[in-house]
Amino acid sequence: MPTDNRRIQGPEISTPYCVFGSSTENEDEDGCFKSTDPLSSTRKDGRALLEHRKIYMKTGVVSQAKGSAYIELNNTKVICSVFDPREIPNRVEYSQHGELFCVLKFAPFSCTTRRSHQQDAEEKELSLNLKRALEPAVCRHEFPNFQVDIYVLILESDGGSLAASITCAGLALADAHVPMYDLVTAASLGVAGDVLMKDPSEEEEKLCSQHFERSNLNHGLITVSLMGAHTQITQVWQTGSMTTTCVSESLTHLIQSCEETYPIAQRCLVKSVVDTISKKKVPEQS
Amino acid sequence: MAAQYKTIHPVKYYRDFLAHDLRPDGRSPDKTRNVTVNVNSISTADGSSTVRIGNTTVICGIKAELGKPKPDEPECGFMVPNVELPPLCSPLFRPGPPSEEAQAMTCFVSQATSDMVDLKELCVSTDNLAWVLHIDMICLDYDGCVQDACLIALSAALRTVKLPKVEYDAETKLPSVSLDERADLHVKSSPVSTSFAVFDDEIILSDPTGEEENLSSAKLSVVTDGEVILSVHKPGGSALSETQLQDCISVAKDRANLVNELINVALSSVDR
Amino acid sequence: MADMSGQASGEDHKLRPFYCELNVLSRPDGSAIVTQGETAAIAGVYGPIEVKPNKIHIEKATVEGIYRPKSGLPCVSDRLCETTLQNTFEAAVLTSQYPRTLISISVQEMQDSGGLLACAINAGCLALMNSGLSMKFLVAAVHCMINKTGEVILDPDNKQLKDSCASLMFAFDNVDKNIVSSSTHGRFTEAQYQEALLRCRTASTEIFQLYRDMVKKYAPTMG
C-alpha cells in the first residue's frame, strides 16, 4: 500500500473498539417495528413513521465563501460553501453552459466507523447525485464556460445525508447569488416491507437496505429533490427493490416532505437578506 | 468608497487605519478576537469541539480505535493529529491532497501537543494492543490564525474523550471492551497558541485576520502553557527585535490564561 | 579543506567547527556545502528562472525553498522546516529586483547530528551569496539547547541533545542582528529563551565573520 506522506499516519491496521464491545444495553435491531401495528408505532427517537425530523438552517456561515449554508436534522449536520464562478480549468472547447463542480466529503469522524481522508466511491456517487439534483435549477446559460464550485462537508451523518446536502447546497447557491429558476429542497424516505419511514436515521437506513434482502418484500431508500414553486422533480435516487405502486406512493410522501421544507428554506433566505440590510445600515450611521 | 479604496490599494488602506492605532475591524493592534468554544457537538466522535476565533472556525473530532503498537515503541499508543484545510473554507484551496500549508500546520500542532497525553497511558497491553487516537481538525472558515484555533480545538476535544475500559485476553488475542465503563483521558498540559502578524516590518498585529495575514511581512506564533513557553515559531519574514518578541510573548501568556479558562467553562457547561 | 573556525568542539560556549565550500555543484547558479561538526547540508540555488503562472507575483520574485531529507521523500514533519527555510530566504533576497521570476533554493540533508535546520539555513545563505543574487541582508542561524539543569549549550551535537529538555534555533540578519527566524522544540521559560537568544546572537557574529572570510577567499571566482 502506498503510504501517504502528506499526513501523519497511525498504525496500518486499527479497528474501531465497538467491534469488541459488550454493553449492558440490549441491542434489538429491528424489534421496534415488527410487533406493533406499523402505522401507529413510533420510532426509536419518538417520531411517528411519517414524521420528518426538525430542520435547522442557516446561511452565510463561512465568511470566506461567496455563499454558504449549514443544515441540521437532529444529528445529521452538513455545511456547504459555494464560490465565485471561475473559468473551467483544462478545457479547450467552449461550453455553452456553465458547470457545477460538486465535491461532497464526509468528515473522518462523521460516521460510526472512521472514514478515510481520500474521497471514496460512495462520496463520488453522492457528489454526482448532488450535481444532478442541482443542475436543472441553475440558470447555467448565464455563465457559459465557467464553473461554480460547490463543496459539501458532512460533519455528522445520521441518515438523509444526500437529502440534507442537496437542500444545503441549494441554499448556499441562492446565498451566493447564483442565478436559479427555483430553490431545490430534498427529502428521503425508507421502505421496509409495508412500512414507509420519512427521513430515516442511519439505523433505519441500514434496516431498510439490509434486512429484507432474503425475502421479496419491498425494501430500499428513495431520495427526491424538488423545485418547490414549479413542483418539478429534479432528481430521484432509489436503491433497493420495490414495486411500482410502492414507488409512486413513496413519491407522494416525498413530494409532500419537500414542499414542507421549502417554506423553511425560503424563510431562512429572507432572514439572511434582512440581516444583511440591517447590518449594512449600522456602519453608515456611525 | 472605502470598499473600492480597499480593493485598489489594500496596503495603503491598512496603513491609514494603523496610523490611528486602529484596525479596519475596530480592534487596536494588540487586541485579540473573541473566542468561542463548544464541545461534544458531534455524537459519532469520541470527543469533539468547535472553536471560533472571530470568523475562523475549526471543528475537531477524535475517533478512538484499537491497534497494535509499533515494534520499536511497544509501550506507546498513538496520537494521529491531522489538520485539514478543505476547499470549503477558503477559495485559496483546491480539492486534493493536503496543501503545504496544511502540512506545516499539522506539523506545528503535533509538535505543540506532543506531550499533552502520555502515550504510555494509551497502551492496553505491551506489544499487543494500544489506543489510536485519530484527531482530525477541519477548518470550516479560513480567516487567519487557523493554527491557533486548531490547537484550542484539539485541547478542548481531547478533554471530552472518554475511553471505554479495555482488557486484552492474551490467550484468544482479542480485546474485550466494556462500553459502559468509561474513563476520562488524562491530559497533562494545556498549550495555547497565539499568532501575530508583522505589518510594514514594524507594527505587530495580534491575532490577525486572513486579510491581515496576507498583507503581512512576517508571521509568528507563540505557544505557551502557564508560565512555560512551548514554542516561539517565527518562520522567516521581516526581522524583529528582542523587545518586540518579548511583547508578543507576554500578550500570548495573558491570552493563554483566558483561553484555558474558556475551555474549562465550555467543558463544565456540558454534561459529560 | 581548511577548518575555518579552528575551534575545539568540546567547550560549551563555542560553535562546532564550521567548514564550508562554495561552487560544489556545477548545474545550479549557486551552491554551497556546509558542515558544522558532524552535521552537513548541501544547498543549490537556481534563479531567477521561469515561474509557474499560478505562483507568479507581479511585483516580486517567488521564492521557493525545498528541503530534501537524507533518504526518501519529504514527509509531514519536514514541512515546518521547509516553510521556515523558504520564508527565511524570502526575507533575505531582494525579491523586488526580480519580478515575475522564481528563485528556487534546494537544501539536501547530508547528515544530521544536531542543528540541521541551522546548518541548512547557513548553507542556503552561502549558496545565495554564491549565486550572485541581490540580497537585503545575510542570515546566520545558530542552534542551541537547554539541558535538564537549565543551562544553555550552544550548537550541541546528537550526544548532547539526548540530555536536552528544549532545543532552539535562531536566525539573525547581519544588519541589525534582529531575529529573522525562531524555531523551538520542548518546554522552557521566558528567561531561558532570552538567555538562549542572547548567546546565539553573540555566536552569530562568528558565522558572519566566516561568511566574510568565505567571500574573501572566493572573491576571484565569484567575479
CATH label of the domain that carries residue C36: 3.30.230.70
Closest CA to A127 of A98, A105, A158: A105
Comparing B217-231, C2-16, C67-81, C105-119, the range with the smallest average pLDDT is C2-16
B238 interface with C at CB cutoff 8 Å: yes
Rounded to a whole number of angstroms, the distance from the CA of C180 to the nearest CA of chain B is 4
Using the predicted structure, report yes or no on whether residue A37 has a pLDDT greater than 60. no
Q: How far is CA A199 from CA A133, A161, A232, A234, in A?
A: 18, 10, 20, 18
Task: Tell the residue number behind the cell numbers 475591524, with chain if given.
Answer: B25
Mean pLDDT score, A151-163: 95
Residues listed for chain A: 286
Q: Report DSSP letters for B25-59, one per residue.
A: TS--TTPPPPEEEEES--TTSSEEEEEEETTEEEE
A176 interface with B at CB cutoff 8 Å: no
Task: Tell the residue number behind the cell numbers 472518554, with chain if given.
Answer: B162
State how far the Cα of B43 lies from the Cα of A157, in Å rounded to an integer. Answer: 10
C2 interface with A at CB cutoff 8 Å: no
Q: Please tell me which of the candidates A6, A21, A24 has its beta carbon nearest to residue B97.
A: A6
Q: Which pLDDT value is given to residue A31?
A: 45
Contacts (Cβ under 8 Å, ≥6 apart) of B40:
B47, B48, B49, B160, B270, B272
Contacts (Cβ under 8 Å, ≥6 apart) of A129:
A162, A223, A235, A237
Chains that touch A (3 or more CB pairs under 8 A): B, C
Closest chain A residue to B174, measured at CA: A20
* Long-range contact set of residues A236-243: C-beta below 8 Å, sequence gap at least 24: A237/A129, A237/A162, A239/A209, A240/A191, A240/A208, A240/A209, A240/A212, A242/A191, A242/A218, A243/A218
Torsion over CA: A30, A31, A34, A39 (sign): negative
Say if residues C123 and C88 touch (Cβ distance below 8 Å).
no
Q: Which pLDDT value is given to residue B205?
A: 95
Q: Which pLDDT value is given to residue A211?
A: 58
State how far the Cα of B85 lies from the Cα of A90, in Å rounded to an integer. Answer: 24
Q: Is the ipTM of this complex over 0.95?
A: no
Comparing B206-210, C32-36, C101-105, C149-153, the range with the smallest average pLDDT is C149-153
User: C11 lies in a domain?
Assistant: no
Query: What tens digit of pLDDT does each residue of C151-175 get?
Result: 999 999 999 999 999 999 999 999 9
B229 and C185 within 8 Å at the Cβ level: the answer is: no
Rounded to a whole number of angstroms, the distance from the CA of B15 to the nearest CA of chain C is 19
C74 interface with A at CB cutoff 8 Å: yes
**Using 50, 70 and 90 to split pLDDT, how confident is the model at A212?**
low
Q: Which pLDDT value is given to residue A141?
A: 94
* CB < 8 Å to B246, chain C: 190, 194
* CB < 8 Å to C204, chain B: none
Q: Please tell me which of the candidates A5, A7, A8 has its beta carbon nearest to residue C73.
A: A5
Q: Which domain range does residue A269 map to?
A: 48-274
Q: Which pLDDT value is given to residue C11?
A: 45
Closest CA to B162 of B140, B179, B145: B179
Task: Write the Ramachandran bin of C115: left for phi over 0, alpha for psi from -120 to 50, otherwise beta.
Answer: left
State how far the Cα of A135 lies from the Cα of A182, in Å rounded to an integer. Answer: 11
Superfamily designation of domain B27-271: GHMP Kinase, N-terminal domain (3.30.230.70)
B235 and C197 within 8 Å at the Cβ level: the answer is: no
C77 interface with B at CB cutoff 8 Å: yes
Closest chain A residue to B182, measured at CA: A23
User: A35 lies in a domain?
Assistant: no
Domain count, chain A: 1
State how far the Cα of C25 lies from the Cα of C32, in Å rounded to an integer. Answer: 8
Q: Report DSSP letters for chain A, one per residue.
A: ----TTS----S-EEEGGGGEE-SS---SSHHHHSS-TTT-B-TTS-BTT-PPPEEEEE---TTSSEEEEEEETTEEEEEEE---EEPTT--S--SS-EEEEEEEE-TTSSSSPPPSS--HHHHHHHHHHHHHHGGGB-GGGSTTEEEEEEEEEEE-SS-HHHHHHHHHHHHHHHTT--BSS-EEEEEEEEETTEEEES--HHHHHHHHHGGGGSSS-EEEEEEEEETTTTEEEEEEEEEE--HHHHHHHHHHHHHHHHHHHHHHHHHHHHHHHHHHHHHHHHHH-
Mean pLDDT score, C45-66: 93
* CB < 8 Å to C75, chain A: 5-6
| Residue to test with chain A: of B140, B146, B150, B166, most A Cβ within 10 A | B140
Mean pLDDT score, A254-266: 95
User: C137 lies in a domain?
Assistant: yes
Q: Report DSSP letters for chain C, one per residue.
A: ---SS---SSSTTSPPPEEEEE---SSSSEEEEEEETTEEEEEEEEEEE---GGG--SSS-EEEEEEE-SSS---HHHHHHHHHHHHHHHHHB-GGGSTT-EEEEEEEEEE-SS-HHHHHHHHHHHHHHHHT--BS--EEEEEEEEETTS-EEES--HHHHTTEEEEEEEEEETTT--EEEEEEEE-B-HHHHHHHHHHHHHHHHHHHHHHHHHHHHHHHHH-
A6 and C76 within 8 Å at the Cβ level: the answer is: yes
Chains that touch B (3 or more CB pairs under 8 A): A, C
**Which regions in chain B score pLDDT beneath 70?**
271-272
* CB < 8 Å to A9, chain B: 80
Q: Report DSSP letters for chain B, one per residue.
A: -HHHHHHH-HHHHHHHHHTTT--TTS--TTPPPPEEEEES--TTSSEEEEEEETTEEEEEEEEEEEEPPPTT-TT--EEEEEEE--GGG-TT--SSSPPHHHHHHHHHHHHHTTTSB-GGGGEEETTTEEEEEEEEEEEEE-SS-HHHHHHHHHHHHHHH-EEEEEEEETTTTEEEEEEEEEEE--B----EEEEEEEETTTEEEES--HHHHHH-SEEEEEEEETTEEEEEEB-SSS-B-HHHHHHHHHHHHHHHHHHHHHHHHHHHHS--
C79 and B239 within 8 Å at the Cβ level: the answer is: no
State how far the Cα of B186 lies from the Cα of B189, in Å rounded to an integer. Answer: 9
User: C6 lies in a domain?
Assistant: no
Q: Which pLDDT value is given to residue C13?
A: 59
Q: Which pLDDT value is given to residue A5?
A: 84
**Using 50, 70 and 90 to split pLDDT, how confident is the model at A20?**
confident
Contacts (Cβ under 8 Å, ≥6 apart) of B157:
B39, B45, B47, B48, B49, B60, B61, B62, B135
User: A255 lies in a domain?
Assistant: yes
Q: Which pLDDT value is given to residue A35?
A: 39
| Residue to test with chain C: of B84, B116, B233, B241, most C Cβ within 10 A | B233
A23 and B178 within 8 Å at the Cβ level: the answer is: yes
Chains that touch C (3 or more CB pairs under 8 A): A, B
User: C175 lies in a domain?
Assistant: yes
Q: Which pLDDT value is given to residue A40?
A: 54
* CB < 8 Å to A8, chain C: 76
Number of A:B CB contacts under 8 A?
150
- Domain range summary for chain B, segments of one domain joined by +: 27-271
Q: Which pLDDT value is given to residue B216?
A: 93
Q: Which pLDDT value is given to residue C221?
A: 72
Domain count, chain C: 1
CATH number at residue A82: 3.30.230.70
Q: Which pLDDT value is given to residue A24?
A: 54
User: C10 lies in a domain?
Assistant: no
Q: Which pLDDT value is given to residue B139?
A: 97
Q: Which domain range does residue C46 map to?
A: 18-218
B91 interface with C at CB cutoff 8 Å: no
C91 and B104 within 8 Å at the Cβ level: the answer is: no
User: A83 lies in a domain?
Assistant: yes
Provide the percentage of residues in chain C whose pLDDT is more than 90: 82
* CB < 8 Å to B231, chain C: 184-185
A158 interface with B at CB cutoff 8 Å: yes
- Which is more confidently placed, C137 or B1? C137
B171 interface with C at CB cutoff 8 Å: no
Using the predicted structure, report yes or no on whether residue C53 has a pLDDT greater than 70. yes
User: C163 lies in a domain?
Assistant: yes
Task: Write the Ramachandran bin of B200: left for phi over 0, alpha for psi from -120 to 50, otherwise beta.
Answer: left
Rounded to a whole number of angstroms, the distance from the CA of C5 to the nearest CA of chain A is 39
Residue type for B196, please? F
Mean pLDDT score, A178-206: 92
